[in-house]
Amino acid sequence: MRPTRRRFVRYVAGGLPVALAGGIARPGDPITMLAVNQDDTPHSVTVWAVQGGTLTVENTVGVAGRDVETLGQMPWKAAQYRVTVFVDAEVALAEEFHSGQWFNQLDVFIASDGSVKLNRARAG
């Protein structure tokens, strides 16, 4: 089982411990951004993540149906975040938030009905 498949299974199963993926997360670890596709249809996912006024992640990935792809990483800092997500070249999500609490996962979820949401969490 390749690492991205393990991550997908962990998310679908409701967040099994990160120890299964081989690590313990802690403050100072980078924020990992994933595209998690719970739909049977493959999609193109583009993300623009702005942290404190600086574009920190700008990437496009193709993600197969029921699969996961890495969008990028950025260091965590207390800041204003703005995330824009395009799915199949159309704006699917534009969200802004301030975070003063550490997190290390910022993932784009495409549900089986095609809806899109952003999930921010501490993995591990």
Residue 119 to residues 1, 2, 38, 97, 107, Cα–Cα distance (Å): 24, 22, 14, 12, 5
pLDDT-derived band at 5 (thresholds 50, 70, 90) equals: low
Place of tokens 């197969």: 64
pLDDT at 105 over 90: yes
Mean pLDDT calculated for residue range 86-111:
97
Q: List domains and CATH numbers for the chain.
A: 3-18+29-121 (2.60.40)
Chain segment 40-80, per-residue pLDDT in tens: 999 999 999 999 999 999 999 999 999 999 999 999 999 99
- pTM, to two decimals: 0.80
pLDDT-derived band at 20 (thresholds 50, 70, 90) equals: very low
